[in-house]
Structures are given as C-alpha cells and as structure tokens.
Structure 1
Amino acid sequence: LMRPGRRWQDGCVADTSNEPAELFDGTAPYYAAYRPGYDGRMFTHVAERLGLDGTGWALDLGTGTGAVAIPLARMVNSVIAVDPQPGMLAEARALAAADSVTNIEWRLGEAAQLAGMDLPPLRLVTIGAAFHWMDRAAVARDLDALIDDGGAIVLASGGTPGDIAPPPWSDTIREVRVRYLGPERRAGRGTYTHPAERHQDVLSRSPFSRIETAHWDRTSDRTADEVAGLQLSYSYSSPRQLGPDAKAFVNDVRDALLAFDPAGTFEQTIRTEAIIARRL
C-alpha cells in the first residue's frame, strides 16, 4: 500500500504523507458488519480455473477483515493474510475464529514490504479491492519473484467504478457527505482519484499478462440503518475523517434515505469481479 512521501505513477492520492494504516483507521467494525463480501461463485470459479486442491501457500495482500482470506483458506494448505491496519486484522482474526478457520497467519504489513516478508513459494496471491491503493506495476514485478511457476494473481473487487449504474439513492448520500466533508473524495490526510488505467491494462505489461475476467451480480436489500452504517467503512467517510461528527453524519444519512424512500428498503446491485492473471 502507500508509503509516506511517495506518489504512485497511478495517481491516487494528492497528499503523499499518508501512512497506509490511516486510510481505513476506525473502519474495521463497520467493514465487517456492512460490506457485502464476495459472491461465493467467485471462489468456486477461482478454484476450478487454478486447480486449487487444498495444497500450497496463498498470500492475501490487503486482507482487510478477511473477506477473501477466510473462504480461500479452505482451498489451500495455508494463507498468509497481510494488512497495514491493526483494527482490520483484529476483526479478521475474530471472524476466522468464529468460522473455525485456523490455517491463516495474520501479519501486519503492506505491499511495499513484499521483498522483506520472508514468504514461502506462493501458489496464489489474492488482492481484494485494494490493488488501486498500490503501485500496481511494482507489486506485479515483486510478485513475479514470489509466485511459483503456474501460479497466479487474483484481484477480487466490485468491478471498475462506472461498470454498474449507482442506485437512485446514491446522490442522497453524496449530498450529506459533501455537507460534512466537502466535494473532494478524501483519503487519509489527502484526497483520492481512482486510477484512470484499468487493472487488466497494468497487468498486461507485467509478467502476469495472461488475463481473464469474470463477474457475478446479485441484488441486495438493505435498511436505512445498514446503508448509513456502511458509509463508515469507506476511506472517504471514515470515523477518522468525520471525527466527532460521525454519529451525526450517520443519523443524517439515515434520515435523508428515509426521506427519499419512507418504505425503508434500499435495493442495490452488488457485483463481484475476479481478474485472474497468469504468466504466458
């Protein structure tokens, strides 16, 4: 993830003094409670395409609360799950324990430290909705030295912004967020712009240039409280960004949603996208 004083060639964050742990500081309980997670069909697809048979080591980079690492652990011998945010790792450990998953090693760290992580030969590296925070080309180069012949990188995400039309009530939330935090998308101590180049295009210039992409869509119905709580899981409206206004922000989002639709059920299309990248 990002290191202080460095500006990635992808663009991303205007303020280069961010520590990676700052980006999602305070979001972990909301991430665990309200993020929709990845479609189970993705894990089946990845296992079939890569021939996962319960053996080998996997690295889950930017693991967050373990949304990829925990299901993946049933498909390989062991997972090393890395994240720069201690709160995320604490939530992930608790979720893994509740699911009786014991073959994950949780490590505090970031993508820029890959070369010094003393990793075993890896069959698979997964990155869930975090590649856009990284120096993508550098990470792919570093992983080339760590992934076995026949191994792969798998990027799991909700797809590229704009692939799915936002729900009609998204502008309602944005209006509240702008009122509290201003029009720019915040991240840590700076602001954020999503990289213009798609992940597939970056990977096509890397050693992992044999690329396939698949996606799965599902519909989610949530209450106003759930949608409001979800906002605290994002880097741009995190408890760190909102400070003492966090509770008032959540209340105002909920009230705005109910004013938009008093029925109180908010439907959204949730996409899971998997990019599998292998060597030629």
Structure 2
Amino acid sequence: MTSSTPSYTPEELFASTAPYYAAHRPRYAPEFYALLTSRFGLDGTQRVLDLGAGPGIIALDLAPRVDTVIAVDPEKGMLEEGRRLAAEQGITNIDWREGDSTTLPGMGLGPVLLTVMGAAYHWMDRDQVARDLDRITEQGGAIVLASGGAPGDLEPADWRHVVDKVRTRYLGPERRAGSGTYSHPKERHQDVLARSPFSQVDTARWDHTLTRTVDEIIGWVFSLSYSSPAQLGEQKDAFKQDLRQALLAFAPSGRFDEVIRTEAIIATRP
C-alpha cells in the first residue's frame, strides 16, 4: 500500500503538522523550566532566543519567566499557530520571526542570555550554529537543547509498533524528510558542543508517564514530519481509519501509556 511520493515542499510538510504539533506533542517537564530559572536567575529581565521554535512549545512556557522571547522558525504556518496560541493565553512578550539557523548572522537579534532549541539542533549545521550563537550570547549565557532524549535511550511503548506497522504500509520503512529520507546524526549533541565555544556541557533528565487516547495518538502521529498530512496526501483519511482500528484492536480500552522523557543539554562557556 506504500504510496507514491506526494508533491510538496518541506515548508508545506511542516505547515501541515502545525496544528497537530501544538495540540499533541508532549510538553517538556516543569522541572526543566525550574532548572533554567534557578541556574540562570531568570527574573523577567532577560532576552532569550527560541531557535526552531515551531508553534512555541518552549517559548510559551518560558515567556512568563523572561522579558522577551525571540521565537525564530522558517515556517509561516508554525509561526501563525504560535501567534494564535500566544493571543489565546494573553502572552505578549514573544517576538515571532521568520528565519532559521542559516539566517542568524543577518537577523540583528542583539544579545541574548540563552538560546533554547526543542528537538531542532539535529536539522542544523551544529558546529556553525554554535559559532554563530557565540557572537550574540551574553557572558554567563548558554545553549540549551530540550528533547525527548536521543533515539534508543528509552524502550519504546508497546503500542508504538502498531503505529510503525501502519505507517510503513502507507509510507514505506524510511523516515521521510521533504522529498528524501531522514537519519539522525550519529555524533551526539554533547560531543559537538564539547568542541564548541560552549564546551562545558551538563545533561539533566526527567521522566513521567503520559496516558493518551486514540485521538491523541493519531494527532501525535500527524505532528511528526515523517507522517504528516502532507506526506500522506489523499491517503490521510484512510490512514487515520486504519490506524484507529489497529490501535483499538491492540488496546480495546483506548488508553495508551508511554514514559515521556525531558532531556536538557546545557552548554556554557568554560
């Protein structure tokens, strides 16, 4: 049932995930924000950069702790979703800007204390980005990478193989990225940062169990770039129906547990 490759641009691919991303991606642990607040003395006066911000998963939670969050993302649809969510929540101190890691030097961002990235660093030229951030990061500042941990760190939930099986039937075994395929970089983020100007690297982790419904699982699947609505094209509805049936056959209760990790890599200058 593997479909032919749909015609879309990478921008359309990520735009199609935006509403699902905002609604169904797990949030980072509250302890993550508490750690940043205590370690860097966040008191409502700082400027921080959220690079690869998407719809503002981190920016929205960080905004109450700082003066300004500059949220940079290349995808207009993600920024529009972020602006909508910020307006909904009455958050007014996020500066939403279109751009990416390659446009950083010419964006006139000014000094920032922190640059945070949520599962975005692996898409970038990591060495170059660290050098570029060194030019705009204040003394005592840091690069902070937030993610669910490196692939393979956690044993996947038992229902994940059901999702993988259905997705493979429709899209094939490779993780697609744009019109090509994606593979996670082999070198760990910590090792890249250790040779950067931000060579003092610490890692913190927090785990908790998240229980989701069938609809929440399907929304999460559509939030992934490699199983986005743009990837599925006209087969989206059929995929959704098949996935729902397969998940309920696996767990008739319609409840799906998963251990969710927040990993924070904090890199400072020595």
Smaller-chain TM-score range? over 0.9
CA distance in structure 2 between the aligned counterparts of 1:34 and 1:248, rounded to whole angstroms: 20
CA distance in structure 2 between the aligned counterparts of 1:112 and 1:205, rounded to whole angstroms: 20
Task: Judge conservation of contact 2:13–2:231 (CA < 8 Å) in 1.
Answer: no
The structural deviation recorded for 1:170 is 0.8
What per-residue deviation string (whole Å, max 9, x for no partner) do you get for residues 214-243 of structure 1? 011111111112111211100100111110
CA distance in structure 2 between the aligned counterparts of 1:120 and 1:144, rounded to whole angstroms: 12
* Residue 192 (1) aligns with residue 194 (2): no
Aligned to 2:97: 107
Task: Judge conservation of contact 2:143–2:267 (CA < 8 Å) in 1.
Answer: yes
Structure 2, unmatched stretches of 5+, are 1-7
Aligned to 2:5: none
CA RMSD between the two structures? 1.2
The structural deviation recorded for 1:23 is 4.7
CA distance in structure 2 between the aligned counterparts of 1:223 and 1:214, rounded to whole angstroms: 29
Give the fraction of aligned pairs with identical amino acids, expressed as a percent.
59
1:85 corresponds, among 44, 63, 75, to 75
* Residue 224 (1) aligns with residue 214 (2): yes
The structural deviation recorded for 1:56 is 2.2
Aligned to 1:136: 126
* Residue 203 (1) aligns with residue 193 (2): yes
What is the correspondence of 1:45-194 to structure 2 with a 5 Å cutoff?
45-194=35-184
What per-residue deviation string (whole Å, max 9, x for no partner) do you get for residues 191-230 of structure 1? 0000111110100000001111101111111111211121
Higher helix fraction (1 or 2): 2
2:102 maps to a residue whose letter is A
Task: Judge conservation of contact 1:20–1:85 (CA < 8 Å) in 2.
Answer: no
CA distance in structure 2 between the aligned counterparts of 1:21 and 1:57, rounded to whole angstroms: 28
Q: 1:114 to 1:20 in 2, by over 3 A?
A: farther
Structure 1, unmatched stretches of 5+, are 1-17
State the SS of the aligned residue for 2:182: strand
Task: Judge conservation of contact 1:227–1:254 (CA < 8 Å) in 2.
Answer: no
Aligned length: 263
2:225 corresponds, among 213, 227, 235, to 235
1:29 corresponds, among 8, 12, 19, to 19
Q: 1:61 to 1:19 in 2, by over 3 A?
A: farther
Task: Judge conservation of contact 1:229–1:250 (CA < 8 Å) in 2.
Answer: no
Task: Judge conservation of contact 1:215–1:272 (CA < 8 Å) in 2.
Answer: yes
Task: Judge conservation of contact 1:31–1:230 (CA < 8 Å) in 2.
Answer: yes
Task: Judge conservation of contact 2:13–2:229 (CA < 8 Å) in 1.
Answer: no
